[in-house]
Structure 1
């Protein structure tokens, strides 16, 4: 036996000393149960243990020093129990720890310096809600790759360690509810990745550092209930007043008007005003007004420039945790599942207090390539903004209740689901689920717009890499949005040629069978012509309602060849039959028969135009394919001709 996972149950009783016999055990997770008693000292004999979760139980006593024998331990979670006494310094022997959770206990004394010598700590060090005291050790500067540090609600005193500035990877730092004093050290300006900083409820004093203005990733700052004084900065992050808390600092002044702080007045200026003649006072006041106007304009311009550096903060929605997403999706219930892809599942959820309707894409990290897909999608989504691309709300990169890595992307929910579900409804009720000719044209143009934007208007350009109907989503107005950038590639040095041969590689491209460009099978990397090919196949599928993987396509017959054989004389024989039922005449007289033939001719002309574009986009040779700028123009022309002819 190498693993025991009994978490999230109602198991009671004590941990049996007989566990010492499980010498090959690598994982023991028993979190969220009702275990009592102590951790047996013999647990230190399980030398192969890498994961130990005993959090959220009723365990008590001291943390055994024998845990220091578990030198292979990666993650240790003991929070939310009733442990007392000191943190054993022997834990410093666990030099492979990435996660250490000791919060919400009754631990006392100082933090052992040995703990802060575990340089592999990278995910989270949580010592919050204990009775730890004394100065916080300066050795914290060793944790240079740590992302989250929470030592809130303890009894730490002294100044904030200046060495915290060496923790350059910190994104979340929570020091609230202690007795830290002195000023905020200048070294914290080195925390360039910081997102959340909470220094509230301490005895800190001095001025608020201006360098906070330039922390471009900062999303939340809490300095409340301290003794800060002086002028509050007004630029950069401080323009986002809803994410700043300064309550309980009575000597602060200035800031933006929304903060409702008193204005700052210099005593010297008051004295000088009383002694100066009125004419001089008027001149000074006039100069101040003029200079203030210039300062205001200059400040607005600087704010505008700085806002471009924090585009990822456009959506004012708080970072979400695993617990919040779990709650939003009813514990990732199957009844909430709305889709499944190569790298995970998509759930419908109601997020936050307002119940925002969202789609949560949970990455299956056990799937090979899933983590890379998650990274690719994040990299692509942070630089794109277009009405025909799915809007991302936030990202969750955390741990689940078992301590395993958890990654998810939270998107705006699309009420009308995917194009695939409209083209191939499971119930096959065409009268309910079929799309009209003009609706298909509009969707095709929306998708073309999105790909044209990625190819020609993004800096640098982006190749989507997996264009297909299930990745085209429809909002409440039936506007198409392209999603799923898991295979996207940012072309930082794209040579601006129409052929990808110069980028040949032995790397095997993953995509979806039927939509992958043929040159990818020969080792060529992702390219713009490859996206054009996928769009061409999608276009043919939209109007023929046949998947490129349909059983009819065999022995060399592809959806491209199928359309090519019928083009142009027999186009009406291969398109979706419901498109031919849109003729508006219904009376069987001579006049209406003429109208019927005219309208059928208009529909045929439209379909010939669309299929011609689909065929040109899905040519076998990349150099023969259209570019997306031409595709957009041609589709627009087809739609304009169709609409004007019908009028």
Structure 2
């Protein structure tokens, strides 16, 4: 810790052969480390950090007594492949406890000999170099390690699972590398771990719930990876010691677990730039030590919970780019330490506060909330039409007058609408007999038809409700009744969207709606249901995955679809989409095409159903809806929806492509095998055409096609035969699926072209029908 310059004498180790302690740290020495240093064989402490040393590290074979070796923050190494050879010399140092070569220019791969370093080694610091290649298997044998820093290098490949053997490990830093694969579940054995950095890599898969075993974890950073799945509640529930948690910039889904309330010591939480949804948990209000909270760039909805009013130590709060609604809470004005607040691009409404942080326009962002008003002039929002204090100063009398006025206006409006509806119904009855085809049903009729909505009649569950089988007219008319669960946000909107979509569309391959019911049940609660034609053969999903049938309550024999049946159903679906996209008064986007929404009648004809998420597009082609946000189901929704793009017909084309690939490979797009960059699209694309048998549904490979098709006699190693004409058709079908499910929308086929190609494939087979 001086300002000594110059070079070390070349004869240092010769002149002082009995040196035991040599430390020149934090000076300005330059040039090379003398080769003669190895002659000082009694050295136990050798530290040269914070100088300007350069070149190679000489042989250290004779330094068998070395306990502490520190070269941090120099210019040593050249980025070459042999830079780290000196580490193998240190295997002779059986008492080595500290090895620190951070912040140099060491290149090449980390030699496997590091796994044979002293069993006494406690600190291994290799960060901020140019080390490439894999982390060697066997580091987990260094049982006394308590600190392992490998960050800011170019390590690649998977994280060795044997790192989970390091029971004494206190700090593990793997940040800013090119590591891939899954986080090993064995890391749950790191019971002493306190600090864990994984950020800035290419890790895939789920966050292992086994990490709940890391109960002493205080800092856990997973940001900027490709992790998917949910944030495990069992993990969050066990991290009571956590001070800093960062899961940002991944592809995490699901809700923020209520167990977040157990994080009583938490000071920093960042889950931004994921695909999390649902309400902000009330339990978050129990994290009273929190100072920085970032939940931006997700799909959180509902209001900002009042429980967050207890987070009075908050300094930074970022909730931008979500779907939050309601008013801006008053308690934010009272947060004395709050220095940065971002509520932009939500659906907030009402008056913008004017106290506290809201007096500082440079520290507060509320833009992108079109229903807000007031606030300081710098926000440039319109004045509120009915100014009132934030304490809500409308008198009870005024509230009563407004309530009565609204009631009168509402009643008048309801009568006017009812009168209008009666007139419209009479006009329709005069001009068309089609309305007479709709069943007239009530809650009581549906209750009786489904035996009180009995669980024995339950045939499926959807996003917003349950579907029951029912029988009308004393057993003559079988129906399917979709009962909306109005507790779920969006269920009512789904009901009206489906009514609107099905009111004027008719097609052989669209599920026929027989009626709708909107009223109250016997408990006085709102009741809404849609009544469909009953599809005796259930959903396509049940046939593709018979062991995972949706309707577990109904016993059915194991069944599978033949090649011809799959082809016909695929064409049925394409015809339905072509009709919706190109032959309706306004183009219609289904937004939730998947096997469970394709229903099969007694002739195995496919019918597209569940129109709860449909969007109507303007006739002008560009074809984008004004409704933003993710639509549909993970795995089937196109990538652009996950980035907030508006819905369009090409989104349905992507879903159709994934459905097509699933139908003929038998693999769901959400299976565990699809992690990171490997998805169903890439899996099929990489295998075509040579490895067709490896990816096609085994049920099709084994199918005994009997309609005059001659076997091709080309078999794989297992002797599995596949017929030449079927093989050619399968390749063509999967190529359509790959083309439709391209990641870039401009590379996808139009549904009309896809339908035409599928029909061409069927026609080419000629008379070879199932």
Give the alignment's TM-score, normalised by structure 2.
Answer: 0.44
**Following the alignment from structure 1 to structure 2, what is the Cα–Cα distance between the partners of residues 472 and 626?**
21
Q: 1:608 aligns with which of 731, 735, 746?
A: 731
Q: Aligned pair in 2 of structure 1 residues 585, 477: CA closer, same or farther (>3 Å)? A: closer
Residue 487 of structure 1 and its aligned partner are, at CA, apart by 0.4
Partner of 1:120: 407
Partner of 2:579: 453
Q: 1:636 aligns with which of 742, 756, 759?
A: 759
Query: Contact 1:563/1:611 (CA < 8 Å) preserved in 2?
Result: yes
Q: Aligned pair in 2 of structure 1 residues 458, 584: CA closer, same or farther (>3 Å)? A: closer
Partner of 1:269: none
| DSSP 3-state at the match of 2:646 | coil
Residue 449 of structure 1 and its aligned partner are, at CA, apart by 0.3
**Following the alignment from structure 1 to structure 2, what is the Cα–Cα distance between the partners of residues 359 and 585?**
36
CA displacement, residues 429-453 of structure 1 (integer Å, 9 cap, x when unaligned): 9994110000000000000000000
**Following the alignment from structure 1 to structure 2, what is the Cα–Cα distance between the partners of residues 315 and 382?**
12
Partner of 1:378: 499
Residue 119 of structure 1 and its aligned partner are, at CA, apart by 6.1
Partner of 1:496: 621
Q: 1:476 aligns with which of 602, 618, 631?
A: 602
CA RMSD, 1 decimal: 3.1
**Following the alignment from structure 1 to structure 2, what is the Cα–Cα distance between the partners of residues 353 and 430?**
25
Greater length-normalized contact order (CA 8 Å, ≥ 6 residues apart): 1
Q: 1:362 aligns with which of 483, 508, 532?
A: 483
Give the alignment's TM-score, normalised by structure 1.
Answer: 0.52
Partner of 2:439: 317
| DSSP 3-state at the match of 1:193 | helix
Whether 2:425 is the aligned partner of 1:193: answer no
**Following the alignment from structure 1 to structure 2, what is the Cα–Cα distance between the partners of residues 427 and 456?**
35
**Following the alignment from structure 2 to structure 1, what is the Cα–Cα distance between the partners of residues 611 and 562?**
28
Whether 2:516 is the aligned partner of 1:395: answer yes
Partner of 1:405: 526
CA displacement, residues 389-440 of structure 1 (integer Å, 9 cap, x when unaligned): 0000110010011111111100010000000000011379999411000000
| DSSP 3-state at the match of 2:723 | helix
Residue 459 of structure 1 and its aligned partner are, at CA, apart by 0.6
Query: Contact 2:594/2:636 (CA < 8 Å) preserved in 1?
Result: yes
Query: Contact 2:636/2:655 (CA < 8 Å) preserved in 1?
Result: yes
Query: Contact 1:347/1:361 (CA < 8 Å) preserved in 2?
Result: yes
Partner of 1:143: 411
**Following the alignment from structure 2 to structure 1, what is the Cα–Cα distance between the partners of residues 697 and 444?**
46
Query: Contact 1:119/1:144 (CA < 8 Å) preserved in 2?
Result: no
| DSSP 3-state at the match of 2:528 | strand
List aligned pairs for 1:154-553, cutoff 5 A: 167-170=415-418, 191-194=419-422, 215-218=423-426, 306-307=431-432, 311=434, 313-318=435-440, 320-353=441-474, 355-426=476-547, 432-491=558-617, 493-497=618-622, 507-553=628-674
CA displacement, residues 91-111 of structure 1 (integer Å, 9 cap, x when unaligned): xx99899xxxxxxxxxxxxxx
| DSSP 3-state at the match of 1:384 | coil
Q: Aligned pair in 2 of structure 1 residues 638, 398: CA closer, same or farther (>3 Å)? A: same
| DSSP 3-state at the match of 2:547 | coil
Query: Contact 2:517/2:530 (CA < 8 Å) preserved in 1?
Result: yes
**Following the alignment from structure 1 to structure 2, what is the Cα–Cα distance between the partners of residues 396 and 446?**
29
Q: Aligned pair in 2 of structure 1 residues 592, 331: CA closer, same or farther (>3 Å)? A: closer
| DSSP 3-state at the match of 1:385 | coil
**Following the alignment from structure 1 to structure 2, what is the Cα–Cα distance between the partners of residues 534 and 594?**
33
Q: Aligned pair in 2 of structure 1 residues 348, 557: CA closer, same or farther (>3 Å)? A: same
| DSSP 3-state at the match of 1:380 | helix
Query: Contact 1:583/1:596 (CA < 8 Å) preserved in 2?
Result: no
Residue 145 of structure 1 and its aligned partner are, at CA, apart by 2.7
Query: Contact 1:448/1:632 (CA < 8 Å) preserved in 2?
Result: yes
Q: Aligned pair in 2 of structure 1 residues 95, 481: CA closer, same or farther (>3 Å)? A: farther
| DSSP 3-state at the match of 1:548 | coil
Q: Aligned pair in 2 of structure 1 residues 504, 380: CA closer, same or farther (>3 Å)? A: closer
Q: Aligned pair in 2 of structure 1 residues 593, 451: CA closer, same or farther (>3 Å)? A: closer
| DSSP 3-state at the match of 2:425 | coil
Residue 322 of structure 1 and its aligned partner are, at CA, apart by 1.2
Partner of 1:627: 750
**Greater radius of gyration (CA):** 2
Query: Contact 2:712/2:723 (CA < 8 Å) preserved in 1?
Result: no
CA displacement, residues 48-77 of structure 1 (integer Å, 9 cap, x when unaligned): xxxxxxxxxxxxxxxxxxxxxxxxxxxxxx
Residue 461 of structure 1 and its aligned partner are, at CA, apart by 1.2
Query: Contact 2:599/2:609 (CA < 8 Å) preserved in 1?
Result: yes
Partner of 1:618: 741
Query: Contact 2:588/2:615 (CA < 8 Å) preserved in 1?
Result: yes
CA displacement, residues 330-386 of structure 1 (integer Å, 9 cap, x when unaligned): 111111110001101000111245542100000111001111111111111112100
Q: Aligned pair in 2 of structure 1 residues 593, 562: CA closer, same or farther (>3 Å)? A: closer
Q: Aligned pair in 2 of structure 1 residues 353, 592: CA closer, same or farther (>3 Å)? A: closer
Residue 615 of structure 1 and its aligned partner are, at CA, apart by 0.3
Query: Contact 1:504/1:524 (CA < 8 Å) preserved in 2?
Result: no
**Following the alignment from structure 2 to structure 1, what is the Cα–Cα distance between the partners of residues 654 and 471?**
37
**Following the alignment from structure 1 to structure 2, what is the Cα–Cα distance between the partners of residues 450 and 322?**
31
Query: Contact 1:583/1:600 (CA < 8 Å) preserved in 2?
Result: no
Structure 1 unmatched runs, 5+: 1-92, 98-116, 123-141, 147-166, 171-190, 195-214, 219-235, 241-302
Query: Contact 2:542/2:548 (CA < 8 Å) preserved in 1?
Result: no
Query: Contact 1:317/1:393 (CA < 8 Å) preserved in 2?
Result: yes
**Following the alignment from structure 2 to structure 1, what is the Cα–Cα distance between the partners of residues 760 and 490?**
41
Query: Contact 1:602/1:646 (CA < 8 Å) preserved in 2?
Result: no
**Following the alignment from structure 1 to structure 2, what is the Cα–Cα distance between the partners of residues 618 and 389?**
22
Query: Contact 2:638/2:655 (CA < 8 Å) preserved in 1?
Result: yes
Q: Aligned pair in 2 of structure 1 residues 421, 95: CA closer, same or farther (>3 Å)? A: farther
Q: Aligned pair in 2 of structure 1 residues 96, 638: CA closer, same or farther (>3 Å)? A: farther
**Following the alignment from structure 1 to structure 2, what is the Cα–Cα distance between the partners of residues 332 and 585?**
44
Query: Contact 2:636/2:658 (CA < 8 Å) preserved in 1?
Result: yes
Residue 645 of structure 1 and its aligned partner are, at CA, apart by 6.8
**Following the alignment from structure 1 to structure 2, what is the Cα–Cα distance between the partners of residues 496 and 389?**
23
| DSSP 3-state at the match of 1:192 | helix
Structure 2 unmatched runs, 5+: 1-398, 550-554, 716-720
